[in-house]
């Protein structure tokens, strides 16, 4: 097969995988919003949910620090390379990494379990003694989740190596469903501790969703604790520095949790709710594209098809921006309505609603940067380079911490959001500049031209959305959830139509792709209907 044919196959595989991940991530994020709606309606924005969010952060941080985006991104390029050369060797390496990662996370979790009380007291000194005791108790229970997630995530990486993305996409839905059961059922009998049991239930379902499909792979795992395999030398070289290349999305939430504890009760929860809304489009598009592109990037670099590698980077970047830029604008315009629709219940007052909306507004300014960082970071990992992402992560972390502490003193929770935004944009700029130095030009002129068209389309669409938002308002009761939903829906649909039409008029390739694929899906959906009509006739 020619190089161009291989490139087309790679881009097609990325597109199919991205579609699967995006659809299921959308469902997961929507379920996540339902989860938070239930949490807000049950516990309100106050000390109770602050306790839950604080307890949740510790096991969540362990998994994100040691495994997610660290071990897996170091493991995948080596595994893919071995798989193309010696399958049995790859199987032995994968089995050893799998066994060691789960065992290692179990050891870390046991240590944190033993020292949970002093750890919570050190991290959350502003909590009352009773709140600290409950936080430690919930943390101990939820420490089972990083062990389950480690086993689940390693299985997901192996599935993705064989272009099986459906289990990976389904798992987060089951996880959110478990937390919802905890909020609706367990909390009725166990109070706030019911949420912790819901987290464990969700983690179990997450693991089952990824581990069971491993049987379908043409792969035999030789589980062992053999670290003498030659691949481990390279794995440690990639993994250990990667520990300090923190995921800015999760780290910003952890930093906010620590800083917000010193503010008014409910501040942790207010930032968390704003951050969840901020993460919906990033999860649907940015993470989906980056995860789907990573295996192709690793394979292209492994066989030295550097032009193919650069093409995947800039094409995927444009696809992300095509969706993220207009979504950022629309969410910014409708941020108050969105917060009122999702969280505006009896237990969430108007002041809390305003606070969440203001924080969301400043976070959305950096959504484009936050959405491209996962792809840029994975581009470096695919080239077996972890030093640059580590350096950038340390810089952005320092900026985030310093600014969050300083700005929160003046602007409260909104100040933490400003710090997160500045750190994300700074990290994006540095990564983009250094990637260009490492791999050469990545279609800068094409990206600039396309981005300009995306911005023009976004401005036109946002103007239409703003006009529709306040034209519809007098015709509906915006004091009800139904009225707000109609208001948002009309403005969004109109904006999307305008955005698509403007993109077609500007000859934007991404707009043409959307129209073509939408037409294909409609034809596919119409076939069963046509068959039924023909049968009846």
Which residues, in sequence order, are CB contacts of 501 under 8 Å at separation 6+? none
Dist. CA 65–CA 11, nearest whole Å? 30
The DSSP code for 186 is I
Tens of pLDDT along 418-448?
Answer: 999 999 999 999 998 898 888 777 666 777 8
What pLDDT does residue 458 have?
96
The closest alpha carbon to 138, from 126, 150, 124, belongs to: 124
Q: How far apart are the C-alpha atoms of 274 and 420, rounded to whole Å?
A: 12
What is the rounded CA–CA span in Å between residue 31 and residue 22? 14
Q: Residue 472's pLDDT is what? A: 92
Q: Looking at residue 27, what is its pLDDT?
A: 81
DSSP secondary structure letters along 271-329 = HHHHHHHHHHHIIIIIIHHHHHHHHHHHHHHHTT-HHHHHHHHHHHHHHHHHHHHHHHH
Contacts of 79 (CB under 8 A, 6+ apart): 90, 93, 94, 157, 158, 161
Cα Rg of the chain (Å, integer)? 23
Burial class (CB in 10 A: 0-12, 13-18, 19+), 190: middle
Residue 6, pLDDT score: 47
Look up residue 348 and give its DSSP letter. Answer: S
pLDDT reported for residue 242: 67
**Spatial CB neighbours of 475, under 8 Å, sequence gap ≥ 6:** none
Count of CB atoms situated within 10 Å of the CB of 526: 11
CB atoms within 10 A of CB 203: 26
Q: What's the CA gap between 403 and 409, in Å, rounded?
A: 10
Q: How many residues does the chain have?
A: 537
pLDDT of residue 355: 92
Token pair recorded at residue 292: 């789907």
Query: Do 75 and 97 meet the contact criterion of CB atoms below 8 Å apart?
Result: yes
Cite the DSSP H helix spans in 383-508: 387-411, 413-439, 444-472, 481-505
Q: What is residue 1's predicted lDDT score, i.e. its pLDDT?
A: 46
Q: Which pair of tokens denotes residue 177?
A: 């469903």
DSSP class of 185: I
SS percent in the chain: helix, strand, coil, step 5? 85, 0, 15
- Structure confidence at residue 3 (pLDDT): 47
Helix (H, G, I), strand (E, B) or coil at 180: helix
Instruction: Yes or no: say if 284 and 374 are a contact pair by the CB < 8 Å rule.
Output: no
380 exposed, middle or buried (CB, 10 Å; 0-12, 13-18, 19+)? buried
Residues 462-500: tens digit of each pLDDT: 999 999 998 999 998 888 888 999 999 999 999 999 999
Ranges in the chain, pLDDT < 50:
1-4, 6-8, 11, 532, 535, 537
Contact 137, 56 (CB under 8 A): no
The H or E element spanning position 124 is none
345 phi and psi angles, rounded to 5 deg? -120, 180
Residue 465 CB: number of other CB atoms within 10 A?
24
| Rounded-to-10 torsion of CA 293, 299, 303, 305 | -10
- The candidate with the shortest Cα–Cα distance to 313, out of 425, 441, 203, is 441
Residue closest to 214 by CA, chosen among 262, 259, 158: 158
- Number of other CB atoms surrounding residue 456 within 10 Å: 15
Report the distance separating Cα 186 and Cα 258, nearest Å: 27
> Residue 377: which of 57, 15, 68, 36 has the closest Cα?
68
């Amino acid at each position: 097969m020619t190089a161009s044919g291989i490139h087309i196959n790679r881009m097609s595989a990325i597109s199919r995988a991205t579609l699967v991940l995006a659809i299921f991530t959308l469902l997961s994020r929507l379920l996540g919003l339902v989860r938070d709606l239930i949490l807000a309606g049950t516990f309100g924005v106050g000390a109770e949910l602050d306790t839950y969010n604080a307890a949740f952060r510790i096991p969540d941080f362990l998994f994100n620090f040691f495994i997610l985006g660290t071990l897996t991104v170091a493991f995948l390029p080596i595994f893919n390379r071995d798989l193309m050369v010696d399958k049995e060797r790859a199987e032995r390496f994968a089995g050893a990494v799998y066994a060691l990662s789960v065992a290692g996370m179990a050891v870390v979790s046991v240590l944190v379990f033993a020292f949970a009380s002093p750890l919570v007291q050190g991290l959350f000194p502003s909590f009352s003694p009773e709140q600290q005791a409950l936080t430690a108790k919930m943390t101990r229970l939820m420490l089972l989740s990083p062990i389950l997630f480690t086993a689940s995530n390693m299985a997901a990486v192996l599935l993705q190596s064989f272009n099986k993305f459906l289990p990976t996409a389904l798992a987060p839905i089951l996880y959110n469903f478990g937390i919802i059961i905890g909020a609706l059922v367990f909390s009725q009998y166990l109070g706030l501790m019911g949420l912790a049991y819901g987290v464990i239930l969700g983690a179990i379902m997450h693991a089952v969703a990824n581990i069971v499909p491993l049987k379908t792979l043409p792969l035999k795992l030789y589980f062992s604790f053999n670290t003498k395999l030659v691949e481990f030398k390279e794995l440690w070289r990639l993994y250990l520095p990667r520990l300090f290349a923190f995921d800015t999305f999760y780290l910003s939430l952890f930093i906010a949790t620590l800083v917000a504890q010193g503010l008014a009760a409910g501040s942790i929860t207010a930032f968390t709710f704003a951050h969840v809304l901020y993460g919906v489009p990033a999860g649907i598009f940015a993470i989906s594209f980056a995860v789907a592109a990573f295996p192709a990037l690793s394979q292209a670099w492994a066989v030295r098809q550097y032009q193919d590698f650069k093409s995947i980077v800039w094409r995927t970047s444009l696809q992300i921006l095509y969706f993220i830029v207009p979504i950022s604008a629309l969410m910014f315009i409708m941020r108050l309505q969105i917060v009122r629709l999702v969280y505006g219940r009896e237990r969430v007052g108007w002041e809390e609603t305003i606070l969440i909306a203001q924080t969301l507004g400043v976070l959305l300014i950096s959504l484009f940067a936050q959405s491209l960082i996962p792809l840029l970071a994975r581009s470096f990992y695919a080239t077996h380079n972890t030093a640059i992402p580590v350096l950038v992560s340390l810089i952005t972390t320092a900026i985030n911490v310093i600014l969050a502490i300083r700005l929160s003193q003046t602007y409260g929770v909104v100040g933490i959001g400003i710090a997160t935004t500045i750190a994300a944009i700074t990290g994006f700029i540095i990564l983009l500049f250094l990637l260009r130095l490492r791999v050469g030009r990545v279609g800068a002129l094409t990206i600039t031209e396309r981005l300009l068209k995306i911005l023009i389309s976004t401005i036109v669409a946002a103007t239409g959305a703003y006009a529709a938002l306040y034209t519809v308002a007098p015709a509906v009761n915006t004091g009800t959830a139904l009225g707000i939903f109609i208001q948002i829906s009309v403005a969004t649909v109109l904006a999307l139509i305008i955005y698509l039409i403007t993109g077609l008029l500007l000859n934007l390739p991404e707009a043409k792709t959307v129209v073509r694929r939408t037409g294909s899906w409609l034809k596919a959906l119409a076939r069963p209907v046509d068959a039924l009509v023909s049968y009846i006739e």
